Amino acid sequence: MEKRYILFDLDGTLTASYEGIINAFVYSLSKFGIEPKADRFNEVIGPPLRHTYMDVYGMSREESEEAIRFFREYYNEKGLFENKPYDGIIDMLHTLYAHDKKLMIATAKQDNIAERIADHFGFSPYLCFIAGTTSDFASEDGGNVRASKEDVIRYILSSNDIKDPEKAVMIGDRAYDISSAKKFGLQTVGVLYGYGTGEELLSAGADYLAKDPRDIERYIIEG
């Protein structure tokens, strides 16, 4: 099956974002007098923030909303640039672009933050679409919000008139990326250099595991 539309997760897939995210997370928890659980830091990278605050730290919805505001207070000012592309990412994007692949970002970050990161690190010239979340919580009245990776992928498919999702590939480092894409029939690649594990990615249904960006490039072009 042709691999035409390539959707990339951002954190742990295009950029090594651990430092900025963890610093923002620790900052937000300090506002509640909470000591972070360092052994669970990797769980913060990828899933929506509300899950971490509510599931790991037992916060209510209202508390998690406040925690997310503190997180962004730090992250939107400093944390987003405490970050760097993985080695080989720009070369991979350049090669895929040259092969006429439609490259997109599908992230749990908010649109404007994803755009700032893409511009800062030089991804933007290779991308035809960037989509992130518009809210941290699903609308209670059924409103058209993007609060999850599943919402983001649905929005990308609709906005780009992708009629055959089997021609689209979701590339990410966490189970959320893989399982969300599978709901729409996308091909999936789990990356082993990010923050998830091979076991996590395979359990979520990854079709292929890539050890580095060059491996992604080969799979998309040759596989």
Give the Cβ contact number of residue 76 at 10 Å: 14
- Dihedral sign of CA atoms 72, 176, 85, 26 in order: positive
Q: Which of 9, 151, 173, 215 is catalytic?
A: 9
- Locate 116 and state its tokens: 């700032």
Q: Name, in order, each residue with C-beta under 8 angstroms of 172's C-beta and a sequence gap of 6 or more.
A: 8, 9, 12, 13, 46, 178, 181, 188, 189, 190, 191, 194, 196
Concerning whether 9 is annotated as a catalytic residue, the answer is: yes
Give the Cβ contact number of residue 60 at 10 Å: 10
Question: Using CA atoms, how far apart are residues 172 and 180, in angstroms rounded to an integer?
Answer: 11
Which of helix, strand or coil describes residue 195? coil
Query: Which segments within 62-211 are labelled E, that is strand?
Result: 84-85, 102-110, 127-133, 168-172, 187-191, 208-210
* Active site (catalytic) residues: 9
